[in-house]
Structure 1
Amino acid sequence: YPVIEQGRVFEDELLMRRGDGSDIWVRIVAHLVDEKTPELGVVWAAEDVSKRKALELDIKRSNDELERFAYVASHDLRQPLRMVSSYLMLLDRRLKERLDEEERQFIGFAVDGARRMDRMIIDLLEYSRVGRHGMAREVVSLAGVLSQAVDNLGAAIAESAAEVTVAPGLPQILGHESELVRLFQNLIGNAIKFRAPDRPPRVTVEFADMAREWVVAVADNGIGIAPEDHARLFAIFQRLVSHEQYEGNGIGLAVCRKICENNGGRIWVESRIGTGSTFLVALPKLV
Structure 2
Amino acid sequence: MTSAGLADDWHRIVFDTTTAAMIMVDREGVIRCVNAETGRMFGYDDGELVGRSIDALLPKAKRRVHASQRRGFLADPTSRQMGVRRDTRGARRDGAEFPVEVWLSVLGSRAEEIVLATVFDLSGRRSERHELAMRTAELQNVNERLARFAFVASQDLQEPLRKIAAFGDVMEEAIARGDCAEIRHANEVMRRSALHARALVHDLLAFSRMINDELDPGLLDLPQAIQVALAELSQQIVETQARVNIRLPSVCIEADPTQFQLLVSNIVSNAIKYRKPGQPATIDISGFCDEAAVCLAIADDGIGFEEQYAHKIFRPLERLHSKVDYPGSGIGLAICKAIADRHGWQISVEAKPGVGATFFIVLPICGEGGDG
Same fold, judged at TM 0.5 (above): yes
Shift of 1:136: 4.5
- Structure 2 unaligned spans of 5+: 1-15, 21-37, 50-56, 58-91, 93-118, 368-372
Q: Equivalent of 1:179, from 259, 284, 298?
A: 259
Which amino acid is 1:122 matched to?
Answer: H
Residue pair 1:142, 1:173 contacting (<8 A) in 2 also:
yes
What is the distance in 2 between the residues matched to 1:190 and 1:32?
A: 57
Do structure 1's residue 45 and structure 2's residue 116 form an aligned pair? no
Residue pair 2:284, 2:299 contacting (<8 A) in 1 also:
yes
1:253 alignment partner in structure 2: 333
What is the distance in 2 between the residues matched to 1:267 and 1:244?
A: 28
After superposition, the Cα gap between the structure-2 partners of 1:229 and 1:143, relative to the gap in structure 1 and judged at 3 Å, is same
Which amino acid is 2:304 matched to?
Answer: G
Do structure 1's residue 272 and structure 2's residue 342 form an aligned pair? no
Shift of 1:100: 5.4
Which amino acid is 1:253 matched to?
Answer: L
Shift of 1:145: 1.3
Which amino acid is 1:37 matched to?
Answer: D
What is the distance in 2 between the residues matched to 1:138 and 1:31?
A: 40
Q: Equivalent of 1:153, from 233, 238, 242?
A: 233
What is the distance in 1 between the residues matched to 2:289 and 2:323?
A: 38
After superposition, the Cα gap between the structure-2 partners of 1:50 and 1:104, relative to the gap in structure 1 and judged at 3 Å, is same
Shift of 1:134: 2.5
Residue pair 1:213, 1:285 contacting (<8 A) in 2 also:
yes
2:306 alignment partner in structure 1: 226
Q: Identity percentage over the alignment?
A: 26
Residue pair 1:170, 1:207 contacting (<8 A) in 2 also:
no
1:14 alignment partner in structure 2: none
What is the distance in 1 between the residues matched to 2:352 and 2:305?
A: 5
State the TM-score, normalizing by the size of structure 1. Answer: 0.70
Which amino acid is 1:166 matched to?
Answer: I
After TM superposition, list the pairs within 5 Å mapping 1:51-62 onto structure 2: 52=132, 56=136, 59=139
SS at match of 1:282: strand
Residue pair 1:162, 1:203 contacting (<8 A) in 2 also:
yes
What is the distance in 1 between the residues matched to 2:39 and 2:327?
A: 58
Residue pair 1:260, 1:283 contacting (<8 A) in 2 also:
no
User: Relative contact order, CA 8 A, sep 6+: which one is greater?
Assistant: 1
SS at match of 1:286: strand
After superposition, the Cα gap between the structure-2 partners of 1:31 and 1:201, relative to the gap in structure 1 and judged at 3 Å, is farther
What is the root-mean-square deviation of aligned Cα atoms in Å?
3.9
Residue pair 1:31, 1:44 contacting (<8 A) in 2 also:
no
State the TM-score, normalizing by the size of structure 2. Answer: 0.55
Residue pair 1:120, 1:249 contacting (<8 A) in 2 also:
yes
2:193 alignment partner in structure 1: 113
Residue pair 1:263, 1:283 contacting (<8 A) in 2 also:
no
Residue pair 1:224, 1:274 contacting (<8 A) in 2 also:
yes
Deviations 1:9-48 (A, max 9, x none): x9xxxxxxxxxxxxxxxxxxx9934435266599623458
Do structure 1's residue 126 and structure 2's residue 126 form an aligned pair? no
What is the distance in 1 between the residues matched to 2:325 and 2:299?
A: 21
Shift of 1:278: 0.6
What is the distance in 2 between the residues matched to 1:107 and 1:247?
A: 20
1:262 alignment partner in structure 2: 342
